[in-house]
Amino acid sequence: MRIRTVTYLFLLAVCTLPNLYAQEEPLAEKGLLDLSGYDFNTDGPLEIRGEFEFYWKQMLNPAIEGDTGEMVYLDVPGSWINLRKENPDITRYGFATYRLMILLPERMGEVAFSVENVFSASAFFVNGKAINYLGFPGVNKYQTVMRTSRPMMIGTVNAQEVELLIRVSNFENRISGIAGGLTIGKVDQMQDIRQKELFRGHFLIGAFLIIGIYFLGLYLIRTEHYRLYFSIICFLMALRVMMIVEIPVIENLNLNGLTMARLDYLNIYFFAPFFILMIRSIFPIEFPQLAYRISMWISSVFIVVVVVSPISLFSFSLPFFFVFFLLVSGVFLYVIILAWTRGRSHAPAFTLGLLILFAGALNDMLVEIDVIESALVVHYTMFIYLLVYVYIFADKSNALQKKAKLLAEEISQVKNHLEDLVEERTTELQAVSNELESQKEKLESTNRDQVEAINARNRLFAIIGHDVRAPIGYIMQALQMLIDNPEITEKERQELLKMMASSSEVTYNLLENLLVWGRSQTGKLKATPVRFVLKELIDESLELLNMGLKEKSLKVEVFVSESHIVKADRDLLYIVIRNLVSNAMKFTPEKGGIYISSKKSNGEVQISIRDTGIGIPESMLSKLLDPKGQVSTNGTRGEKGSGLGLQICQEIIQANDGWMKIESSSGKGTTIIIGIKASEK
């Protein structure tokens, strides 16, 4: 059971570590970040990375056009000290201006920025307007006010091209410049991320405080020093999360930059002595006395250095502290392995927790000394480390209770066996019942499918028997009249030919609709989308229907832009346009009008076909697109239909990931609107 629990904790450790490999995203090149094609709605906020314009020892004034000087390119995030090899005049301490031009998508309105670890004072300008100050960047140590917090900043943009200007001063800290992340996004997205971050932070803080108070209570009840040390570590971890997340409580204290830096370093350095005290109190025999004394003295030195020295000195102590912590972790590992070989309880779990913490500390140390580029993860591994110890200490506290419960479990074993037997029989009966219910549902589904198939067959036969046979009969009669009456006048001959052409066209359209309908009924109606100009397709459709339009003297006006390009199955959409225009012709009286227009909106092209015909009664609108219903009405000249046209149009549009809407009322004409995915040129 314990090995299984340790395995679960290890899996939790692997899954909890943040993703250290960022997805491929747009990068700034030569001071320009092109986000004109970036979709913030879909992809969310973006971490700005790449080459910024870097002006060493220059405080550019964003209000003065052309206020620039000597410039180099600097990768962000990263300290400006990285440029020292190519530019020896760039030093750790000084001031500079970062500049980046950003091409945003259209109609952004407002953008939000969040920053992390800009050392040690900075000012942010968007299109010449200041949006926030982190402290105050000055040209010397005395004019600079430190602050490295990471608020969310909002800037208003009135154009697609945005200038981001960042002044940075550092005369104290070991790290210079924009060493952390700089993220851009929509205001609501950034606020939502901030709220989620605060929620996670409050959750972790509450968890650490509850654990700390619980073990402090256990220590007061039963004096065991490891409980006290573990409780203090939990309180330190709660403070650590407060500082990382920057909850409003910390911001409201309004502490200056130097105080926040001291508090940050002290919070980290106090972990070492209390971990040493806790491990020694758990394994006092295995912990070497000399190693204990030396490590406690070194921990005290680190703490004193932070308290009494300026930030220009104690900020350089962090890499050395990481090395010290790794050495102490090695001592911990030695102690725990020794305890493991001696059969001490929970030694495997202690070892697992230490390895997780060691991995996180090693990662952060390599990041701090610029060996690798990765996220800081030690606070995550610390949380997992504490979870391991919570399990260990909780298991120790519950050991006696488990022994007390053992006898009661043995006494109730017979009773439980009887209850298990009853439950087993009940489960079997329930399984049989579920199987019968499943078979019943399958039979009902099969019956429904058969009924639908029979209805579809009957409907097909009815359409063929009536709507297909009738126009073919007209053609046969006309041909017979032409054969039997060779002396027929030219005018009558033309009338018969027109009737034959009209009947042929009706029959052809009906057969094509039946073919598409049959494919949809068998689930074989699939679209093959291609890019094409919508105007060309509509012109082709109108050419085929030109004779019918002239017969009824219908006026057709097309307001479709040549620039509207859609992505859909061209042949299927051709059938849709032809059906809809044919319907408009059918129900529009002579000398009426048909108006075809299009507009582009939200990534799609909306096609509108409006007529001045007899309209559709409100009671019939809901039945037109019902696949189980069939509504067929005669046109203004008695034209007949199959009742399939609009249903087929809807199924074709749905197969192309589009939509269709009908707007009509009796006597006021009909407007049918379809939406199809747009495509760029």
In three state form, how does the secondary structure of 194-254 look?
HHHHHHHHHHHHHHHHHHHHHHHHHHHHCCCHHHHHHHHHHHHHHHHHHHHHCCHHHHHCC
Tokens 């952390």 identify what position? 180
Q: What is the pLDDT of residue 609?
A: 92
Q: What is the pLDDT of residue 507?
A: 65
Helix (H) or strand (E) holding 307: helix 289-308
| Sequence-ordered list of residues with C-beta below 8 angstroms from that of 316, at least 6 positions apart, any chain | 174
| Sequence-ordered list of residues with C-beta below 8 angstroms from that of 166, at least 6 positions apart, any chain | 97, 98, 99, 118, 122, 123, 124, 125, 178
What angle is formed at CA 523 by the lines to CA 518 and CA 525, rounded to 5 degrees?
A: 70
Looking at domain 2-17+192-405, does it have CATH number 1.10.150?
no
- Residues in a beta bridge with 154: 112
Helix (H) or strand (E) holding 292: helix 289-308
Q: What is the pLDDT of residue 581?
A: 87
3-state helix, strand, coil in the chain (%, to 5): 55, 15, 30
Q: Give the closest residue to 618 by CA, choosing from 667, 651, 580.
A: 667
Structural contact between residues 142 and 158, judged by C-beta atoms closer than 8 angstroms: no
Amino acid at 318: L
| Sequence-ordered list of residues with C-beta below 8 angstroms from that of 427, at least 6 positions apart, any chain | none
Centre a 10 Å sphere on the Cβ of residue 364 and count the other Cβ atoms it contains: 20
Q: What is the pLDDT of residue 644?
A: 60
The pLDDT averaged over each successive group of 10 residues in the chain (681 residues) is 45 45 73 90 90 92 67 91 88 94 87 87 91 90 82 82 93 88 89 87 85 86 83 87 78 76 88 89 88 93 92 86 85 85 76 76 67 66 74 69 69 67 76 79 73 56 51 67 74 69 64 60 72 87 75 86 88 84 85 90 90 83 66 55 68 86 85 88 62
CATH classification of 39-185, choosing from 1.10.3720.10, 3.40.50.1820, 2.60.120.260, 1.10.630.10? 2.60.120.260
3-state SS, residue 187: helix
In CATH, what number does 526-677 get? 3.30.565.10
Q: What is the pLDDT of residue 101?
A: 93
| CA distance linking residue 256 with residue 259, whole number of Å | 6
pTM for this model (two decimals): 0.54
